[in-house]
Amino acid sequence: MGIKVEGKVYGDIERKKALEGLRIIDLSQVYAGPYASKLLADMGAEVIRVESAVRSGRGGQKPQSGAVYPDGEPGERPYNRSAYYNELNRNKLAISLDLSKDQGREVFKRLVKVSDVVIENFSPRVMENFGLDYPTLRQIKPEIIVVSISAYGQTGPYRDYVSFGRGIEAMVGLSQITGYDDSQPLGPGIAYADAAAGLHAAFAVLVALRHRRRTGKGQHIDLSLRESLTPLLGEHVLDYSMNKRAPERRGNRDSSTIFQGCYRCRGNDAWITIAIYSDEERESLRNAIGNPTGRDEDLDNVIENWTLSHEPDEAMRILQKAGVRAGAVLGAEDLTSDPHLKERGFFEIVTHPEAGTHPYP
């Protein structure tokens, strides 16, 4: 059988996904762990979610506060219609177990015996309390790979502290450097720490699988949200260690650029970002907006006077043609209809029996 791509068959080899034949038991909740297992499921792994019989991550019969449902309607089974849950848990199977009961733990151990990886993101004491920590699981299957995602790691004085991504973004200093110089610290628009930890966890699983293939040994991966995010602020940490200079909140400015800002455009809540990294780019910007000679201290006003007469996409095309780094500020409604993403086939159109048909990133 050949490879079938968009209705066409190529060659005589059946194409398989990279992780086909791999089984992952996913105990994780909320964002970081489910995001990691989603990526692995996308690569072909069989992911079995083990959800609490007492407190399910998808919610119960009543609609969850703040959850997004198709057409705003939770329906009779809101736990199957949540946009958040369906996006993070696509391509997965699920089973409901009560791990506080002997029977639930026995079923879980039977699953571990026929699986390759376990992912969990409880606080460290939880798996120990269940009697399902890594030393126990290793006795069941010596080559098992266990990924434990937690806020601060399995050891240290903060070991049992709990947090979501928002708290971690504050604890690594990301919130401290986000905002304007005269404003309070701000968090990013998404749970950035969870996304970073999820990516790290998926990569760690791939490395552990390679290690097991070479040595036959499993391992316990201790992954901290805080330690996953901190390296992304490396320049600020090094600046302080070298120069005792703490970073400042700069709003839309960036210390690595000559000039950077976000400017209003024509239309309701319409914006564009512009970044200049060299004198040549600055001259290209001035020429593009019809201001070849002028003072840099007036450049903000000159740019916005020009952008206000253009819609974001139009301004971006003009500036990009001139060699200026510019990008329209888009919302979700713009992304789902973006012609570039459509041409590249970025969104997958998925039909869910209860949530309906929608584009998934």
Return the structure tokens found at 54.
């007492």
Domain assignment present for 173? yes
In this structure, the answer to whether residues 32 and 111 fall within a common structural domain is yes
Domain assignment present for 189? yes
Q: How many domains does the chain have?
A: 2
Local structure of residue 80 (DSSP, 8 states): G
Domain assignment present for 242? no
Q: pLDDT tens digits, residue range 25-80?
A: 999 999 999 999 999 999 999 999 999 866 666 666 677 777 889 988 988 888 88
Domain assignment present for 120? yes
In this structure, the answer to whether residues 47 and 193 fall within a common structural domain is yes
**Structural domain boundaries, residue 93:** 17-231
Most confident of 141-145, 236-240, 332-336: 141-145
In this structure, the answer to whether residues 78 and 210 fall within a common structural domain is yes
In this structure, the answer to whether residues 72 and 186 fall within a common structural domain is yes
In this structure, the answer to whether residues 153 and 222 fall within a common structural domain is yes
Residues 306 and 264: beta-carbon distance below 8 Å:
no
pTM score > 0.85 for this model?
yes
In this structure, the answer to whether residues 191 and 274 fall within a common structural domain is no
272: left (phi over 0), alpha (psi -120 to 50) or beta: beta
Domain harbouring 128, CATH code? 3.40.50.10540
Is pLDDT larger for residue 243 or for residue 62?
243
Q: pLDDT tens digits, residue range 194-214?
A: 999 999 999 999 999 999 999
In this structure, the answer to whether residues 164 and 24 fall within a common structural domain is yes
Binning pLDDT at 50, 70 and 90, where does residue 10 land? very low
Q: pLDDT tens digits, residue range 81-125?
A: 888 888 899 899 999 999 999 999 999 999 999 999 999 999 999
Going from the C-alpha of 77 to that of each of 57, 82, 154, 353, the distances in angstroms are 14, 10, 36, 12
